[in-house]
Structure 1
Amino acid sequence: MTPAQLRAWFLQQFDPEDAAFNLHRVRLLTGRLDPAALAGAVTALARRHETLRTRFPAVDGRPVLVVEPAAPVEVEWLRASSTEEAETLVAERTNRPFDLVADLPFRVSVIGLGPESHVLVLVTHHIIADGWSLDVLMDDLVVFYGGGEPDPLKVTAREHAALTPEIDPKELEYWRERLANPPTLELPSDRPRPAERIGHGDEIAFRLPAALVSRLSEVARGSRCTLFALLLAAYQVLLSRHSGQDDVTVGVPDGGRDTEEAQALVAGLSGMLVLRGDLSGDPPFQKFLRSTMASLLGALSRRRVPFERLVEELDIGRDLSVTPFYQTTLTLHPGELEREQHFSGLTATPFPHGWKWVRCDVAVDVFWAGDDSGDLVTVVRYDTDLFDEPTVAALFERWRVLLHGIADDPALPLSRLPLMTDGERERLVTTWNATERPIPAPLPRLFADQVARTPDAIAFSDGEHVLTYAELDQAAARIAGRLGDRRGSVVAVCVDRSVRVLPALLGVLRSGAAYLPIDPDNPPARIQYMLEDSGAVLVLADEGPAERLPPGVEVVTVSEALAADPSEGFPPGPDDHAYTLYTSGSTGRPKGVVIRHSALANFLAGMADLLGSDPGQVWLVLSSVSFDISALELYLPLIGGGRAVIAGRDVAVDGAAQIKLIRDAGITHIQSTPSGWRVLIEAGFSDPAITGLVGGEALPEELSRELRPRLGRLVNVYGPTETTIWSTTWEVPPGGGEPRIGRPIANTTCYVANRAGGVAPTFVAGELLIGGAGVADGYHGRPELTAERFVEFEGERVYRTGDRARWGFDGNLEFLGRMDNQVKVRGFRVEPGEVEAAILTCPGVDQAAVTARGDILVGYIVGDADLGDLRDHLEKILPAYMMPALWTRLTAMPMTISGKVDRKALPDPVAESGAAFVEPRTDAERLVADIWQEVLGLERVGALDDFFAVGGHSLIAVRVAARIRAIIDLDVPIRYLFLRRTVEELARTIEDLLAEEFDALTDEEAARLVD
């Protein structure tokens, strides 16, 4: 058997239900069909081509090739009452897998639609054929059907295989260097990559018009390259621009029929060349085209090294979620696309094949149209576990745009070649950012207007004390009177969680100052830094916090200020600063974000558009005042006649106490982080009368599904401090769903920028930029940092969030994590948030965090989940590269003061040593260890030994499964040896499978077995 046959055989044993390696030719035969002549022609095919009568049984787990004697081939004859029924019957046959051990890899069906209408279905397997072979089969069938005889074969497939020359070590070394550490292509997908690739597929097709093909051919000739090299280069540019990767591999099939005698064979002679493109440095397309041509020529001159040998040599074929080396292929077929044939009174035309498989993520086949138009027909097969049709259609619509751009100007740098139609760009830049509306007056004016409308209504309470609108206004006026004229300055506010919070904040604003909120629990050094850096002129504080402030700071207590005479103060204008808020800095120095009154007023107006603002609203204030989202809880009720209820320090961290306060106070609106909502859920919270907002951290899908039914309404909100609290919102549908961050609020624009600083296409990830009325003035006293993060884009000033996002086709934004939080694991880019979301779906896990330490992932969990069960659970839903290598169980997640997981405070993991030898401890472990010792020739095998680390590979895995079957009569799917790689894990799987078999027995069968 050839290396290609061995790999095809193994993959079929790995998943017997896989039909991805089926090959088919389906034709509608119009005219009077002679059944006897057709049956004779099919038998003659099998007589001529020994591969059609070859089986591949296993002897002690090793495959052998057995050629059966020539004999009549049975043709399946069927009838269908309609074309639709015929299509169903065809699909059943093209999608039915072969049993390579027991059956011949060739079958023929004929479906009668009428006296002169039949569908011919030829199906074979890649282990004995390739695409060229299908043409040979059809051509030979036509000759045999007409009573003729094709020219004799000069060699058989086995003889041709025996003539294959030895591999040149230099060629092997070329590929080792060329394909070392291959990248994994990460195209934008509709669903995460599953733990195990299934191969379900579908296809779309489109044409490249002859005029465009002619212009592209001229460009290719001008660079002394082939048309295929140009298509390949353009395809790699397309992949790079969509994945954000400069290192891209594409599989290119090689026919493997260099000799004349090979042309007439039915055999799997085609191989796969891996073309690796380096798109770094943004070269002109013409330069990249020439390098692609050189790479193609280099690969073709070293085509004698089988792809399967490379998989073995570079030891990369064990990740079940991807194909090794490449995730997409490109083929330019030399022939025309299924031109109709005429023979012996019959006309053969293409008929839908219904085949629903694909061998990689995306397979692109380009044919010359069979209608003499000069068009190129492109057929794209895609993995439906990853992609929906609109996603693939959009990708290749952009390929057409890209090809037109190359034809127009091949000298353009790769990043400047066009990808989008004018319509798509208009949607991204203008349509989805049409959020204009009038900006209201500053908050003090809005509050004053509400005081005039509802002076006696309750505005604010803390569980013990209550303030009406008039009382709150009077208290703010007294504080403003004490502060005096503070226009253009910063006044720090350091108060406990009490009814004094709002008077203090509103009093500062009325004095004309911007407030600087300081949490009393902050470390003294941080408080001192913020006071010094902001230039705060004084601190308005409660008595307790005032005692903990740094020496030398001017302090006015709230009690003292409330005793002052009231003052109308100095009402701020829209361009005056409302507050300065400090956020963590990557350098360790907090950054002071300066927000204007117009930005705050616009935010409140945008949230009122979404949530309303009326006297019936009662907001729970859970957030720390130093966390900017508290402004929504405090201020939105005040501009509509509602009230805010601030939770005390102890209540804010106690789920049961919060539920009591929610019920007692008649709360209607709650805003919290995902971590905060989990505290409520664990305490048994559920209230369909409440509107909930969740933000501050990414919303996991499992939390959205658990939380949504507990609320009347749930809104996912997103926004950085630098763009004034929340910038986008998304209404979570009933039942939850995969979270989005939605659309921009009033007077807000959102863009997704690619690496080159341009607009990224729909569904393509990039950095989220936010513009509009909410954009901060910048960072106080940090002009260089301000210039770095606040930039011009599409004609307006925007903030670079540092977050990865993409636009969905429905006009909603999807949050994909931090730009700087992605990690590389064995060549794969991993977003820790995606792993965390998967961990949270495991029973017994209450909280989860994932970080990278070096090139491994570390998982942290809170909960009582068994780690073995957790690993088993994750193996079913995550690819191997996304599995944490180390685990740490915590009693509680460290949290920041704003309610987010404090990743910097996560402890260093302590790895369990895998070096120590552990004797097999159970009968199942001893069975597995003994079998490994036998087939691998080892002196000893321990319970923690890894199958592949001690010398196992794919074909030995088949032998292990065969030995298990022979000894205990148990079929262990081969995939389990890839998923359960240690003796301990495989033994546990065997125990589980035996238990399942025992449970399936009847009482009588079980009794006999026990006896």
Structure 2
Amino acid sequence: MTPEEKRARLAQLLKDKTRPAGKQAPLSFAQERMWFLDKWSPGSAAFHMPTAVRLSGTVDTAALGRALALLVERHETLRTTFQERDGQAMQIIAATGEVPLEVMDLQGLPESEREEEAQRRVVRLAQQPFSLEQGPLLRAVLMLLGGGEQVLLVDQHHIVSDGWSMGVLVHELAMTYRACLEGQPPPLNALPLQYADWAVWQKDWLQGAELERQLTYWKGRLNPHALLELPADKPRPALMSSKGARKVMHLSSPLTQALKALGQREGRTLFVTLLSAFNVLLSRYTGQEDVVVGTPIAGRPRAEVEGLIGLFVNMLALRTDLSGKPSFRELMGRVHESTLDAYAHQDIPFERLVDALKPERHLSHTPMFQVMFVLQNAPMPALEAPGLVMEAKPVDTGTTKYDLSLLLVDLPQGLRVIAEYSTDLFEPATAERLLAHYQTLLEAIVVQPDVSISRLPLLPDTERHRVLQEWNDTTVAHPPEATLTSLIEAQVARTPDAVALEFEGTRLTYRELDARANQLAHALRKHGVGPEVRVGLCVERSLEMVVGLLGTLKAGGAYVPLDPGYPQERLGWMLEDARPPVLLVQERLLSRLPATDAKVVALDTGWEAIAREPTTAPAPLATPDSLAYIIFTSGSTGRPKGAMNAHGPVCNRLLWMQSAYRLTPADVVLQKTPFSFDVSVWEFFWPLMTGAKLVVAKPGGHQDPAYLTALITSASVTTLHFVPSMLQAFLEEPDVAGCTSLKRVVCSGEALPLELKEQCLRMLPGAGLHNLYGPTEAAVDVTFHACQPNDGRRSVPIGRPVDNTQIRILDAELQPVPQGAAGELYIGGVQVGRGYLARPSLTAERFIPDPYATAPGARMYRTGDVARWLPDGEVEYLGRADFQVKIRGLRIELGEIEASLEKHPSVKQAVVLAREDRPGQKRLVAYVTGRDAAPEAGALRAFLLERLPEYMVPSNVVVLERMPLSPNGKADRKALPAPELGGADPSRPFVAPGTAIEQQIAQAWKDLLHVERVGLDDPFFELGGNSLLALQLHRRLTAELGVKLALTDLFQYPTVRALATRLSRREEQPSEDAAQSGRSRAEARRTVNRRAVGGRGRAETTDGDADE
């Protein structure tokens, strides 16, 4: 329907007055949403529309009261209440109504306190609940301050008002007050219709073909789209409250005029210009190129309804594609077109749209959009009355409906910009920074509209200096000529007779260990080992392992760990790449290695020959630049890749660790990490360069918590490392409380859960917990964080950079991201490794020139990790930017597993995901399609076990008939089912309700949803439920089951099984559940807004000053 046709239909309404006779009427679509929200969260101030009017001069309170009464008589909405009639909510319109003008005299207070007290009372009154059933839904309070100063608070419930309506109300109140003073009738034209007439017309018009036309557009426009995940300062609650706050910024008049001029040159409105910039800001904050922002639209298609007070406003979801690195000028064009299209389809109520699109429901998020944008370019009309100067201002009730709302008001002196934010998520400083970034962006676009949006500056100079220089000021002078061998040999000279090494009851002093390593070094020198010569080492954890490592380094060579537990094929690839001329082995493990041309030296059966070599140290050949080791990590091509590290970077890492944690000769360090992983580097060498004792765990012992607790206790271990998943298992060991010798527990390898941190500090009170982060490619660890109990953080940070190391958090254009925004983590400084062995192209891709370094030729390593800066200069890890994951602390390229699966003759295509279907339980899941016959899951796992380490073999293999594809033809990873839904048919299996309560719930669903069957695990909303139906279901189940049922329960427990279980527990624990219900209701005040009638979104601005 064209706008002209729509206006004609409304004009016909003016003639016909189709509303049925009587004083009740159906609710409009928007009112249905508000009715639901009030039932969900009774009395929430989030749905109030308060305005404070400053009155300077003499006020005639009697005339003001009469003016208010005349407005109540004029507008039916001001004397409307809402009640259920025959199970249906209706507008009840009283023939007459009274809204008394309450007067509060504050003149008895000291003059210095009156203004502050008035502000407190305004906020308190604005938060007082309305009763939709009893009314009135308008309150007016006049506060007398003395000296001719007054404040008039006018507040309405959103169900009968919107921002435009508040302007109408205040303007007409001023005109009517003036008329009352003059003894004249108000100069207002008679209203051609009332809001209830319009509600009837809306229900009649928006159906059938017109409804389908608009729904078709929006389905195509919004299905599907991702949540906008702004990085938050606090963990997102499962149920968001409506608590909010505001920060305000004023843009100068010159900047405001420049923005208007830019839009005029391009034929774009100020709204489009400002929204385009906001979209850029959101994209740069989140890294997302598909952004959906909500904006209110007045919803008044004809002049005849412009003077009505009522809830007309509607919400539009404006989706913007920021991909392809467009210039800002090009982006303005995209936003212009999408906005025009949305306006052409603006009539469908937001609540109906959510009903139709059925977005995935999260009680912690609003549907469709999580951020709102509002531009008010027509300020509150001027208010005039004899003897009075009147100024209307919105009231901040301390509430919000969305994660973030940006409200702009175009004033003569320049734009006022308000960031309204959820205090559940954000700190005030974050909102202030966001406004500063928005201003920096706006200042850039007026002079650089043709620059790519990815290159536009966001950071003010002070913040740029902070994240690039101040937080990376890590310069420390360590001995420039240090090598691993020189540091250890210096310690041998200091404490030759102290115990250096212990394994299974056998001990070696520093002198004895040094002597054996020297003998091996001499033997290796005879085999040509020296600087840059690689030595393979295939041994189990033992004394021989430590001697082999030290001997190789003393010879000047670089060791290459070859884990005997790896499949022979993988070991073959590693040998093929490393080409070591010498292999150090234990004789019993030789059969596990593929055939090789390398000289094989057995450290056990062949030691007799090695023992003939001198025990004195060979002349040192290695320098800080010499290669120290090559550790192979998972590779995306299906082959592992060898990361090369030299002595200098590793020594920097170890010297930092000693300065930070201060090992002494009294310390005992447990070495338990497989030597094929980089954590083993510091476990081996840190204690040996500081005079501490190194205790080596038996082979396989690192996976046995009972063994570890016993070893820690018997050996008085003070320092050890865990990946978090193993730390969890260790803490569950019954004897862990006996590990009182522990002083330091170091965690790295994967994200450290907050709960696990607290548990560790609680169960091991004598031990400090340290969270470290770093890739193999940058000498083990590059950041550190000392954990503190109950520190109020949302997660455990990975901390600050170590000595002589820099952390860059950059966007795709290698520009620093704002503090708090997500970006990719890059590592600069002395610990950046050489690169990958025999992989020049991959090395060039991951080790790139460092644009922020002062040293010529400096490189930085691209980690693929996503992180952000915290306000205190620490770094928070957020996840992976690619398909590389960590399981049990071990880094895995999913592509390597996929490549291995696709080598199986029965597999056509394979996709591997790291799923966390249960919190803290991350696992690998493989999805495969077959060629001729369906592959057998067990056979595929056995096939992988022959080719990959056990930790890389998926715990589940799901066989699919076909792989879901995204629009670009690639596998749609987000559409892959959870493993329990896998198999030939990934659809949900039907499970019939069994118990009496399950059958009653299912029957209620069938009756309300008009479906033939309901399974135990069918979600209510997926079957067609919406918020209005949820209200009916709530009433029915409460009556039929005779139990206390909170409306929030239907959203928190959306399946028959979950709800039945919840109700059964409630019957057993009524008092506890009643208390929980009260807490849920209080916590859900904001969530209400998102789950409203069919839709959970608010069709209005957050205050009365910014509706358009």
1:497-896 paired onto structure 2 within 5 Å:
497-546=541-590, 548-552=592-596, 553-558=598-603, 559=607, 560-571=609-620, 572-683=622-733, 684-686=735-737, 687=740, 689-709=742-762, 710=764, 711-735=766-790, 737=793, 738-794=795-851, 795=853, 796-821=858-883, 839-840=919-920, 848-850=921-923
User: Is the CA contact (8 Å cut-off) linking 1:618 and 1:666 kept in structure 2?
Assistant: yes
Quickly say closer, same or farther: Cα 1:903–1:4, change in 2 above 3 A.
farther
User: Is the CA contact (8 Å cut-off) linking 1:87 and 1:352 kept in structure 2?
Assistant: no
Structure 2 letter corresponding to 1:541: V
Q: Which residue of the partner structure matches residue 46 of structure 1?
A: 72
Instruction: State which of 20, 24, 48 in structure 1 corresponds to 2:46.
Output: 20
**Most deviating of 72-81 and 224-233:** 72-81
Quickly say closer, same or farther: Cα 1:34–1:434, change in 2 above 3 A.
same
Instruction: State how far apart, in whole Å, the 1-side matches of 2:147 and 2:947 are.
Output: 80
Instruction: State which of 123, 131, 153 in structure 1 corresponds to 2:163.
Output: 131
1:912-923 paired onto structure 2 within 5 Å:
918-923=991-996
SS in 2 for 1:415: coil
Q: Which residue of the partner structure matches residue 981 of structure 1?
A: 1054
Instruction: State how far apart, in whole Å, the 2-side matches of 1:898 and 1:437 are.
Output: 41
Quickly say closer, same or farther: Cα 1:298–1:33, change in 2 above 3 A.
same
User: Is the CA contact (8 Å cut-off) linking 1:191 and 1:385 kept in structure 2?
Assistant: yes
Quickly say closer, same or farther: Cα 1:852–1:417, change in 2 above 3 A.
farther
Instruction: State how far apart, in whole Å, the 2-side matches of 1:357 and 1:62 are.
Output: 29
Quickly say closer, same or farther: Cα 1:311–1:587, change in 2 above 3 A.
same
User: Is the CA contact (8 Å cut-off) linking 1:140 and 1:150 kept in structure 2?
Assistant: no
Structure 2 letter corresponding to 1:64: M
Q: Which residue of the partner structure matches residue 843 of structure 1?
A: none
Instruction: State how far apart, in whole Å, the 2-side matches of 1:99 and 1:444 are.
Output: 79
Quickly say closer, same or farther: Cα 1:937–1:589, change in 2 above 3 A.
closer
Structure 1 letter corresponding to 2:558: A
* 1:406-429 residue CA offsets vs partner (Å, 9 max, x unmatched): 111211111111111112111222
Q: Which residue of the partner structure matches residue 281 of structure 1?
A: 324
Give how far 1:969 is off.
Answer: 4.8
User: Is the CA contact (8 Å cut-off) linking 1:200 and 1:383 kept in structure 2?
Assistant: yes
Structure 1 letter corresponding to 2:848: V
Give how far 1:350 is off.
Answer: 5.6
**Is 1:185 equivalent to 2:238 in the alignment?**
no
Give how far 1:253 is off.
Answer: 1.5
Q: Which residue of the partner structure matches residue 195 of structure 1?
A: 238
* 1:629-658 residue CA offsets vs partner (Å, 9 max, x unmatched): 112111112222222111112543322332
**Is 1:224 equivalent to 2:267 in the alignment?**
yes
User: Is the CA contact (8 Å cut-off) linking 1:896 and 1:902 kept in structure 2?
Assistant: no
Quickly say closer, same or farther: Cα 1:264–1:854, change in 2 above 3 A.
farther
CA RMSD of aligned residues (A): 3.1
Instruction: State how far apart, in whole Å, the 1-side matches of 2:444 and 2:166 are.
Output: 36
**Is 1:491 equivalent to 2:546 in the alignment?**
no
Identity rate, percent = 35
Q: Which residue of the partner structure matches residue 21 of structure 2?
A: none
User: Is the CA contact (8 Å cut-off) linking 1:337 and 1:377 kept in structure 2?
Assistant: no
Give how far 1:192 is off.
Answer: 3.9
Q: Which residue of the partner structure matches residue 406 of structure 1?
A: 445
1:79-118 paired onto structure 2 within 5 Å:
81=109, 82=113, 83-114=115-146, 116-118=148-150
Quickly say closer, same or farther: Cα 1:822–1:573, change in 2 above 3 A.
closer
Q: Which residue of the partner structure matches residue 362 of structure 1?
A: 404
Q: Which residue of the partner structure matches residue 879 of structure 1?
A: none
**Most deviating of 520-529 and 202-211:** 520-529
Quickly say closer, same or farther: Cα 1:137–1:533, change in 2 above 3 A.
same
Quickly say closer, same or farther: Cα 1:14–1:143, change in 2 above 3 A.
same
Instruction: State how far apart, in whole Å, the 1-side matches of 2:884 and 2:1027 are.
Output: 32
Instruction: State how far apart, in whole Å, the 2-side matches of 1:832 and 1:549 are.
Output: 31
Quickly say closer, same or farther: Cα 1:295–1:604, change in 2 above 3 A.
same
Instruction: State how far apart, in whole Å, the 2-side matches of 1:760 and 1:961 are.
Output: 47
SS in 1 for 2:639: coil
Instruction: State how far apart, in whole Å, the 2-side matches of 1:246 and 1:635 are.
Output: 46
Quickly say closer, same or farther: Cα 1:778–1:940, change in 2 above 3 A.
closer
Quickly say closer, same or farther: Cα 1:112–1:133, change in 2 above 3 A.
same
Give how far 1:910 is off.
Answer: 3.7
Instruction: State how far apart, in whole Å, the 2-side matches of 1:119 and 1:345 are.
Output: 15
Q: Which residue of the partner structure matches residue 1005 of structure 1?
A: none
User: Is the CA contact (8 Å cut-off) linking 2:652 and 2:831 kept in structure 1?
Assistant: yes
1:918-937 paired onto structure 2 within 5 Å:
918-937=991-1010
Q: Return the structure number with greater relative CO, CA threshold 8 A, min gap 6.
A: 2
Structure 1 regions of 5+ residues with no counterpart? 824-830, 841-847, 856-893, 1002-1011
Structure 2 letter corresponding to 1:94: A
Give how far 1:953 is off.
Answer: 2.1
SS in 2 for 1:55: strand
SS in 2 for 1:56: strand
* 1:655-710 residue CA offsets vs partner (Å, 9 max, x unmatched): 23322322222222111211222232112424375111101111111111111231
Structure 1 letter corresponding to 2:755: E
Instruction: State how far apart, in whole Å, the 1-side matches of 2:84 and 2:998 are.
Output: 26
User: Is the CA contact (8 Å cut-off) linking 2:569 and 2:947 kept in structure 1?
Assistant: no
**Most deviating of 607-616 and 592-601:** 607-616
User: Is the CA contact (8 Å cut-off) linking 1:157 and 1:267 kept in structure 2?
Assistant: yes
Quickly say closer, same or farther: Cα 1:999–1:551, change in 2 above 3 A.
closer
Q: Which residue of the partner structure matches residue 296 of structure 1?
A: 339
Instruction: State which of 404, 414, 417 in structure 1 corresponds to 2:456.
Output: 417
Structure 2 letter corresponding to 1:157: Y
Structure 1 letter corresponding to 2:562: I
Structure 2 letter corresponding to 1:330: F
Instruction: State how far apart, in whole Å, the 1-side matches of 2:789 and 2:442 are.
Output: 43
Structure 1 letter corresponding to 2:263: A
**Most deviating of 439-448 and 117-126:** 117-126
User: Is the CA contact (8 Å cut-off) linking 1:250 and 1:330 kept in structure 2?
Assistant: yes
User: Is the CA contact (8 Å cut-off) linking 1:673 and 1:900 kept in structure 2?
Assistant: no
Instruction: State how far apart, in whole Å, the 1-side matches of 2:992 and 2:226 are.
Output: 38
- TM-score w.r.t. the length of structure 2 is 0.80
User: Is the CA contact (8 Å cut-off) linking 1:613 and 1:639 kept in structure 2?
Assistant: no
Structure 2 regions of 5+ residues with no counterpart? 1-26, 886-911, 929-943, 959-978, 1075-1108
Quickly say closer, same or farther: Cα 1:412–1:113, change in 2 above 3 A.
same
SS in 2 for 1:416: coil
Give how far 1:567 is off.
Answer: 4.7
**Is 1:263 equivalent to 2:306 in the alignment?**
yes
* 1:179-211 residue CA offsets vs partner (Å, 9 max, x unmatched): 221332122212343333433211111111100
Instruction: State how far apart, in whole Å, the 2-side matches of 1:228 and 1:729 are.
Output: 45
- TM-score w.r.t. the length of structure 1 is 0.88
Instruction: State how far apart, in whole Å, the 2-side matches of 1:939 and 1:759 are.
Output: 56
Structure 2 letter corresponding to 1:932: W
Give how far 1:500 is off.
Answer: 2.8
Structure 2 letter corresponding to 1:544: R
Structure 2 letter corresponding to 1:809: P
User: Is the CA contact (8 Å cut-off) linking 2:99 and 2:136 kept in structure 1?
Assistant: no
SS in 1 for 2:860: strand
Q: Which residue of the partner structure matches residue 477 of structure 2?
A: 438
Instruction: State how far apart, in whole Å, the 1-side matches of 2:872 and 2:950 are.
Output: 29
Instruction: State how far apart, in whole Å, the 1-side matches of 2:195 and 2:1054 are.
Output: 37
Instruction: State how far apart, in whole Å, the 1-side matches of 2:262 and 2:43 are.
Output: 45
Quickly say closer, same or farther: Cα 1:732–1:565, change in 2 above 3 A.
same
**Is 1:156 equivalent to 2:182 in the alignment?**
no
SS in 2 for 1:636: helix
